Amino acid sequence: MNARYESPHPASHHETRMRNIILLGLTSLFTDISSEMVYPLLPFFLVSSLGASPAILGLIEGVAESLASLLKVVAGYVSDRAGRRKPLTILGYAGSAVGKLLLYLAGSWGVVFAARIVDRFGKGVRTAPRDALITESSLPGTRGQAFGLHRAMDSAGAAIGVLLAFMLISAAPGDFGHVFFWSLVPAVLGIILLFFVRETRLQGHRTATLPPFRWHALPAKLRAFLIISLLFSLGNSSNTFLLLRAGALHFDPAQILLLYLVYNISYALFSYPAGRISDVLGRRMVLVAGYVLFAVVYFGFAFFVDPERAWITWALFLMYGIYSAFTEGVEKALVSDLAPVEMRATAIGLHATLVGIGLLPASLIAGQLWAQIGPQAALGLGGATGLIAAIALGVLL
């Protein structure tokens, strides 16, 4: 099939591309400001204000994140079949805003459960269509830059959100509703910006006749990379374990928030350069470096952190941000490079789904290893998985 995506206004094609990328980046920036104002405080709100148990917290997050993971490939396929990206993207970001509104209104953990379901529904619906729109708004030789810029703006929003939450909760300790209310403002701003994004349209391909998804219809290199991504995700447990490790090293809650801030700032600063480097040197080289860096960070947290040498923990969180910058946007660009045009959103969604599926057993395994043997075993497994993925990527691709 010789399908291709074109702007409906060819005379201003370049301007349309750049405007789309910037607007989508700003939408992610504002949405992440909103999300990170809420997410770090949610466990405390559930436990201290609503009386929920840690088991309830685990149930809420497990169901919500699983829903988001499964929806990504479905939304990608629907987007490919419809030949449209913008409507699903708007619907997904609107879901996140509605989720924040429900949190503000929540008087029981059941309403919080509903809020997280709606929020993660939005995440699952928007991810693949949005990333396909970023791909189609960039030239093949600049996709790394486009995704790098998007990830930089996304993680900058996360850093701003953490700072705003810190300031608001410090000014009014225990007033979670105050923070939840103000989180609605950036969420709504992000949705408004999406209406100025110009839709791309599929030319030369009848999307309504797109066949049902088949694994073997994907190119061999893409299948290999998806398998490697799943393998890597099985060792990439929740960031909560790194924060838990820092807490065991006598970092107090305020310092842990600052560690998380260092991670997000590092992620933001290195995302765009990493994307540009991948355009010049190739995606594989940058991803291998990122996976190796992940292994170094996890081995560092497993065996080299020390309460007497706090600088090591700070340095590892800085490096963890660089690892994220070297992998998340570059992985999306690589999937976009390898996927057939008519299955691009499906492939992007499938990659996100596989990564999400792997995160649940990864965290369960890490939790059991931590409880039965110790943090060295749990984090050491992550480091070993990172090295195996780096080797596999270097050999198979």
Residue numbers of the domain that contains 165 = 9-201
Same domain, 229 and 355: yes
Residue 141: CATH number of its domain: 1.20.1250.20
Residue 39 has pLDDT above 90, yes or no: no
Q: What's the confidence (pLDDT) of residue 6?
A: 43
Give, rounded to a whole angstrom, the gap between the first and last alpha carbons of the chain. Answer: 24
Question: Band of the pLDDT at 102, cuts 50, 70, 90?
Answer: very high
Same domain, 15 and 140: yes
Tokens 């006749």 map to which residue?
209
Q: Tens digits of per-residue pLDDT, 346-383?
A: 899 999 889 888 877 887 788 888 888 988 998 999 99
Residue 206 lies in a domain: no
Same domain, 243 and 350: yes
Same domain, 119 and 151: yes
Same domain, 166 and 71: yes
Same domain, 225 and 125: no
Residue 334 has pLDDT above 80, yes or no: yes
Same domain, 98 and 161: yes
Can you tell me the distance from the alpha carbon of 134 to that of 132, in angstroms, rounded to the nearest whole number? 5
Same domain, 51 and 172: yes
Phi, psi values for residue 307, rounded to 5° = -55, -25
Boundary-marking domain end, from 144, 172, 201: 201
Same domain, 296 and 391: yes
Residue 213 lies in a domain: no
Residue 229 has pLDDT above 90, yes or no: yes
Can you tell me the distance from the alpha carbon of 273 to that of 279, in angstroms, rounded to the nearest whole number? 10
Can you tell me the distance from the alpha carbon of 219 to that of 206, in angstroms, rounded to the nearest whole number? 21
- Our count of domains for the chain comes to 2
Q: Which helix (H) or strand (E) holds 201?
A: strand 201-203
Same domain, 174 and 234: no
Of 6-10, 55-59, 190-194, the range with the lowest mean pLDDT is 6-10
Residue 342 lies in a domain: yes
Supply the DSSP symbol for 40.
G
Residue 9 has pLDDT above 70, yes or no: no
Boundary-marking domain end, from 201, 228, 245: 201
pTM > 0.75:
yes
Q: Which residues fall within 8 angstroms of residue 256, CB to CB, at 6 or more apart? A: 243, 246, 247
Of 25-34, 216-225, 232-241, the range with the lowest mean pLDDT is 232-241
Residue 287 has pLDDT above 70, yes or no: yes
Boundary-marking domain end, from 148, 173, 201: 201
Given CA atoms 253, 255, 256, 260 in this order, what sign does their dihedral have?
positive
The answer to whether 233 touches 358, Cβ cutoff 8 Å, is yes
The mean per-residue pLDDT over the stretch 99-125 comes to 92
Token digits for 68? 């988001």
Q: Which helix (H) or strand (E) holds 228?
A: helix 220-233
